[in-house]
Structure 1
Amino acid sequence: MKRLLIGAAVGALLLPASAAFAQDIGHDHACIDDACEMVSIFSGEETAAGWQGTVAPKYGTWGFDLAGRDTSVNPGDDFFRYANGAAIDKLVIPSDRTSYGSFALLRELSDNRMKELVTGLAARTDLTAGTDEKKIADAYRSYIDQARVDQLDAQPLQPYLAAIRAADTHEKMAVHMGQTIGRFGGSFFGTGITIDSKQPTRYVVSTGQSGLGLPNRDYYLDARFADKKELYQAYVARILGMIGWDNPTETAAQIVALESKIAEAHWSPAENRNRDKTYNEYTIASLTQDAPGFAWQPYFDAAQLGGAPRLIVRQNTALPKIAAIYAETPVALLQAWEAFHTADDMAPYLSKRFSDAAWEFNSRDLSGQPEQRTREKRAISFAEGALGEAAGRLYVAQYFPAESKAKMEELVANLRTALSHRIDNLSWMGTETKAAAQEKLRKFTVKIGYPDKWRDYSALDIRADDLVGNVERQGRFQWNYQLARLNQPVDKAEWGMTPQTVNAYYNSANNEIVFPAAILQPPFFDPNGDPAVNYGGIGGVIGHEIGHGFDDQGSKSDGDGVLRNWWTPEDKANFEALTARLGAQYASYEPIAGYHINPGLTMGENIGDASGVAVGLEAYHLSLGGRPAPVLDGTTGDQRFFYGWAQVWQSKYRDEALKQQVATDPHSAAQFRVIGPLRNVDAWYDAFEVKPGTKYYLTPDERVRLW
């Protein structure tokens, strides 16, 4: 279940572009390859609950703990360390996590609340069959029952393996791949249903490159990841041996060699961000002609998409190459490839020997996580994910105060006013483009807290004694939900994240910014906290998401979400020159030795961060209504604003996780989400007396001022 694309152009605060309208269940990846178009503020371990009994962080009397700074560091040499150093030194990454910090601590709070809700339901014996509450409880029971799962061992996998063995021709295997959409298994191509970027009132079928078991193409082609590729081959052999496949060691080498060929055909992560290049109209017939070697019509028929009048092909030059690789691969190897990916996909829900093997490679070896999360934590995440909005409805009823929503609406209004003012005063943009930008800003939709309309889970069958069946039925339920949309208008009330998610996102097809309830808490937002810290925290998040509408990719859609150019040639050239200068700055940053930030991959998020800081600061000043900012504990309003932004990114990572982030994540490493934007803001220099000669000092004419 790794190929369900159900999104539109989107940008998230933390989430890897892996969640364009993210699935309601933890294991599903709601995008094709690594190219989803929902942009969020963060990319992190959204389902990795901590529950370590961590002492709650201190935010001081006004929202920031000054004792958490490291004042031995010059602000101009490392403001991330200056603002957060002492606090980070005290952070201990829990053994079942690969990173830890502000987002993780808030996610822990959300997870603990979900634990209370889910286990409370599971303890009840009076729940009515068919209700969402009963389904959440039964989802939890099915996962927590280790004895039942161990008793079944590999039995749930056997029907899948039998079907794979029966797929003994290239066409039959293409059919099988089509049937796995929304179910366990793998495919050389990722297919789903997305909002049409050029006609955003309707949905369209989209397909693109897939077929890899490692995080992306670089893990096969870059010598820095040679050790991971070797570990992956050993893992493939281990899984094949566990399911009784012939010649597991030799076959594993063949599978990795096959995926290496596919990786060579893949577009790079940076190329996959280019929304102009990834919108290519086809029909099934024209795709069959341009990418021969794969049985496209039988594949789409099996996916229940055979009647689709048109397709959007994301990587149009890669698909013919992958189809040719498919055609030249012996059927026996295709079967072995499919058997491995099916077993790998199902392994977390099988007996302990399977789930341990999957965790050891996917989390320990790839990301450096020393210890697997407990079964209870995984069960909570599974139950909460299987019925995401149903769990969110319970969360909101208990934990989201109405005053938070009202205060957020005020903050968003001030951010919009600030950006409108800044657009009017841009020196590099002409009148015609400014008018179009203002129109887009006016048409932004804002969603705060939770959906106005909740998902209906009445058709989802959840059973207390059938974990694998629950996963499969949830995947099929989700796919049927997507299929039903094809002939319907786009549902603009739909949310792409659940209320209990600690994140936020921008969706360009709907031209909307979305802030789930769980992020609207300290350190991001405190209704009773100092406004400067709120504007630096959640204000920066709001500005970040609005900024995605005007980043290098989001700016390709207009106020109605239509993918089209609304720029004059001169203004577009000016914008690209500025982003190139910003990219050169980020290319110089090295979060860990040998791993520089790739500005081609991170540009959208870097622009979002720069926008968030600049617009958030101006909105803070507007909120003062001409009054001077108070001085608190010897700190000025501007200083507290910048502390608020820095505090959001207070975190530390295990080395392997940081390497993986740099290679795969469109978000820059936390240190440079602080340093990168601030060194381009004049007020930061004044607030902390940053002088020439410090490491990150930029002369005024070197500073990049976008929005």
Structure 2
Amino acid sequence: MRRSFVLTTLLAASALSACATTPPPQTGNADPIAVTETAAPAPKPEIGDFGFDVAGMDRSVKPGDNFYKYANGTWEKITPIPADKSNYGMFTALDDLSKSRTRELLDAAKGDPNSKIGVAYATYLDQAAIEAKGLAPIQPWLTEIKGLSSKAGYAALAAKASQAGVGAPFSAYVGPDDKTPTVYALQTSQGGLGMPDRDYYLSTDAKLVEQRKAYQAHLAKMLTLAGEPNAAARAAAIVAFETQIARAHWTRIESRDANKTYNKMTVADLQRRAPGFDFATYFRTLGANTPDVIVAQPTAFTGMAKVIGAAPLAVLKDQLLVRSLDGFAGVLPQAFDQESFTFYGTVLSGTPQQEERWKRAVDFTSEAVADDVSKAYVAKFFPPATKAAADELVRNVTEAMGRRIDNLDWMAPETKAKARAKLAAFTPKIGYPDRWRDMSDLTITPGDAFGNMLRANQWQQRYNVQHLGKPIQKWEWFMTPMTVNAYANPVMNEIVFPAAILQPPFFDPNADPAVNYGAIGAVIGHEISHHFDDQGRKYDVNGSLTDWWTPQDVKRFEERTAALVKQYDAYEPLPGLHVKGELTLGENIADLAGLTAAWDAYTHAYPNDQKVIDGFGPEQRFYLGWAQVWRRSYREANLRQRLLTDPHSPSEQRAWVVRNLDPWYQGYKPAAGEYLFLAPEQRVRIW
């Protein structure tokens, strides 16, 4: 599954059209009554005069030198990053709005003992009760870990940890089989690291070396807080063990290749390839009783299993111990909660201050009892008229993508026909699912914050594994309606837009259409084009991972994508740290293609739009809409982490994709020599 990707109040259903007073009906032979129609004022957009915040621009910057700064420079200068954020922009602002709205629902429910969401929320909020219980709620689990007496029982214990939501050496989940997407399959991938990526263990970069030392100190502190002796030495042993695991890991670039990560084998074959860890027991304990498994990184599994087989049992137990304390820190005494935040929030992401408890309670409840919260959210905050308007935009951008495919000069006719068939088979999902999961068997108990989190994690894992042997559930979503994001799922051949992203600055029915198409239209195009990016293109009309392009098509496509990799490799957001063009390729293709399709959709829907608003013509307004949604400032630690791990380019560089698009040049007239200027033959053109 691929994922792509403030502000104001809910869009009212009546805001979609202006209305006029209606004259009274005429009856009999009476003289007609003179009636003067008075049009109601046109509804104003939530942002500025036409949907864009002109005051946030910095017009001292030439668009051709830095279009992001030109569109957003003043906003960036005057908008601080809140103390509880690692970065701040349009996504985070909308996320705050989503949390506030959800809080309103949960506050109303928390006094009702029969409300599952109310009880979950109120119990998480009650820090005094959590503090009073100390480690007693988690103690049975910690005792079970410490009581493991032989390596023979490690795989089963690791599986129980995974069921509890605690990081284990290998992740396992059930999803559609990429090559037979009509059935579910057990799938597994590398894990076992407490820091975000192998580079955090292996790089000699001074900043990462510093964070590595802080990680070891953090592990020692957590062990000490739990009353464990010899904490420093035990922490050092955990870091040494995880460093060996990191050496076996595939890179993120290797792990995004859909073909390389599809390795179907029997569990017995995996065991032969990777002795040292009891995979059969691990999967069986998870409830995944199936003879076959799809392994994402087989050589990493071989290396990791060897490391695990050679590791002392005490180190394996200690790793599960600290991972459990970190995983449940939010429902443990304050000392654990604060220490976990200090490392993961402040050291790794640069965030000075932890979020208020109510925000974290909203997050917990929205994840633990997701469908119950979601139903209440969409009933109050997502009117049908917004969904209908978004449906129309999706149709228009999808049709534009079809026209783009028809007019390609590098794709063979037979491949075009298959691409068009794939496009026609898309399932767009807008706002929220058309059915909900039954969570009635999830037990939420007043006063038991730890137990509620544990049972919710176990419910989610059990629900996932129970898909084995069942028909594909195409109605399922992998984001909640409260999520400010969107995603494309090539195996399901679907594009998904949660309710929370369908509001300003992404979408406002009262905004200028050019701004809407440059914002949510481009996001829609982004998700559509993920199905045709360097990995999504490998899935056919049925969502099956298969080779359906001609060799000549692949060659010409890869020539174009190589130019995009080179373009992004050149960007250096932090001194000495560049964007990884190969890691971010799929998202960069989707940005480029999404904007291209959205512009075509806009000009097709509004072919005669030549109006000028506040001095901006249609091309200019369209790309301002795009730039505005990427307003975001980062703390250095967070930006560093993203450059190492995130398949998305930073927001500033995402705005720069306009340098490849001819309509941007028509609108802004950048000159040769300006930083973003590319001669026509240098512009990357794919879809």
Q: Which amino acid aligns with 2:365?
A: A
Give 2:70's aligned residue: 82
Q: Pick one of 224, 234, 239 that aligns with 1:256.
A: 239
Distance in 1 between residues matched to 2:369 and 2:478, nearest whole Å: 14
SS of aligned partner of 1:679: helix
Give 2:644's aligned residue: 663
The answer on 1:517 being equivalent to 2:508 is no
In the TM superposition, what is the alpha-carbon distance from 1:179 to its structure 2 partner?
1.8
The answer on 1:11 being equivalent to 2:2 is yes
In the TM superposition, what is the alpha-carbon distance from 1:276 to its structure 2 partner?
0.3
Give 2:601's aligned residue: 619
The answer on 1:289 being equivalent to 2:272 is yes
Q: Pick one of 257, 268, 287 that aligns with 1:304.
A: 287
Q: Pick one of 93, 102, 105 that aligns with 2:90.
A: 102
Tell me if structure 1 keeps the 8 A contact 2:130–2:332. yes
Q: Pick one of 344, 347, 360 that aligns with 2:326.
A: 344
In the TM superposition, what is the alpha-carbon distance from 1:396 to its structure 2 partner?
0.9
Q: How does 1:362-441 map to 2 (within 5 A)?
A: 362-441=344-423
Give 1:146's aligned residue: 127
In the TM superposition, what is the alpha-carbon distance from 1:58 to its structure 2 partner?
6.8
Tell me if structure 2 keeps the 8 A contact 1:168–1:332. no
Q: How does 1:15-34 map to 2 (within 5 A)?
A: none
Bigger radius of gyration, 1 or 2? 2
Q: Which amino acid aligns with 1:648?
A: V
Q: Deviations over 1:147-181 (max 9, x none)?
A: 11001111122111211122222121111011222
SS of aligned partner of 2:298: coil
Give 1:328's aligned residue: 310
In the TM superposition, what is the alpha-carbon distance from 1:304 to its structure 2 partner?
1.7
Q: Percent identity?
A: 44
Q: How does 1:183-332 map to 2 (within 5 A)?
A: 183-224=164-205, 225-305=208-288, 307-332=289-314
In the TM superposition, what is the alpha-carbon distance from 1:405 to its structure 2 partner?
1.1
- Structure 2 unmatched ranges of 5 or more: 6-44
In the TM superposition, what is the alpha-carbon distance from 1:184 to its structure 2 partner?
4.5
Q: Deviations over 1:396-415 (max 9, x none)?
A: 11111111111111111111
Give 1:39's aligned residue: none
Q: Which amino acid aligns with 1:94?
A: P
Normalising by structure 2, we get a TM-score of 0.93
Q: Which amino acid aligns with 1:543?
A: G
In the TM superposition, what is the alpha-carbon distance from 1:491 to its structure 2 partner?
0.3
In the TM superposition, what is the alpha-carbon distance from 1:293 to its structure 2 partner?
1.2
Q: How does 1:442-457 map to 2 (within 5 A)?
A: 442-457=424-439
In the TM superposition, what is the alpha-carbon distance from 1:246 to its structure 2 partner?
3.0
Distance in 2 between residues matched to 1:58 and 1:694, nearest whole Å: 34
Tell me if structure 2 keeps the 8 A contact 1:449–1:499. yes
Further displaced range: 533-542 or 84-93:
84-93
Tell me if structure 2 keeps the 8 A contact 1:685–1:691. no
Distance in 2 between residues matched to 1:140 and 1:452, nearest whole Å: 25
SS of aligned partner of 2:516: helix
Q: Pick one of 654, 658, 661 that aligns with 1:681.
A: 661
SS of aligned partner of 2:189: strand
Aligned length: 646
SS of aligned partner of 1:192: strand
SS of aligned partner of 2:522: helix
Give 2:543's aligned residue: 561
Distance in 1 between residues matched to 2:472 and 2:348, nearest whole Å: 38
Distance in 2 between residues matched to 1:683 and 1:439, nearest whole Å: 28
In the TM superposition, what is the alpha-carbon distance from 1:267 to its structure 2 partner?
0.2
Normalising by structure 1, we get a TM-score of 0.90
Moved over 2 A (4+): none
Q: Which amino acid aligns with 2:644?
A: A
Tell me if structure 2 keeps the 8 A contact 1:96–1:370. yes
Q: 1:336 to 1:405 in 2, by over 3 A?
A: same
Q: Which amino acid aligns with 1:161?
A: L
Give 1:111's aligned residue: 99
Q: How does 1:627-706 map to 2 (within 5 A)?
A: 627-675=608-656, 677-706=657-686
Q: Which amino acid aligns with 1:505?
A: Y
Q: Deviations over 1:629-648 (max 9, x none)?
A: 32212211111000000001
Distance in 2 between residues matched to 1:102 and 1:629, nearest whole Å: 29
Distance in 2 between residues matched to 1:335 and 1:481, nearest whole Å: 27
SS of aligned partner of 1:191: strand
* Root mean square deviation of aligned Cα: 1.2
In the TM superposition, what is the alpha-carbon distance from 1:97 to its structure 2 partner?
0.6
Tell me if structure 1 keeps the 8 A contact 2:368–2:457. no
Give 2:341's aligned residue: 359
Tell me if structure 1 keeps the 8 A contact 2:161–2:320. no
Q: Deviations over 1:621-671 (max 9, x none)?
A: 0111x3233221221111100000000101111111111111111100000
Q: 1:111 to 1:185 in 2, by over 3 A?
A: closer
Distance in 1 between residues matched to 2:476 and 2:362, nearest whole Å: 24
Give 1:481's aligned residue: 463
Tell me if structure 2 keeps the 8 A contact 1:450–1:517. yes
SS of aligned partner of 1:441: helix
Q: Which amino acid aligns with 1:671?
A: E
Q: Which amino acid aligns with 1:153?
A: G
SS of aligned partner of 1:282: strand
Tell me if structure 2 keeps the 8 A contact 1:389–1:499. no
SS of aligned partner of 1:200: strand
Distance in 2 between residues matched to 1:139 and 1:387, nearest whole Å: 8
Give 1:584's aligned residue: 566
The answer on 1:72 being equivalent to 2:55 is no
Distance in 2 between residues matched to 1:404 and 1:346, nearest whole Å: 38
Distance in 2 between residues matched to 1:594 and 1:194, nearest whole Å: 39
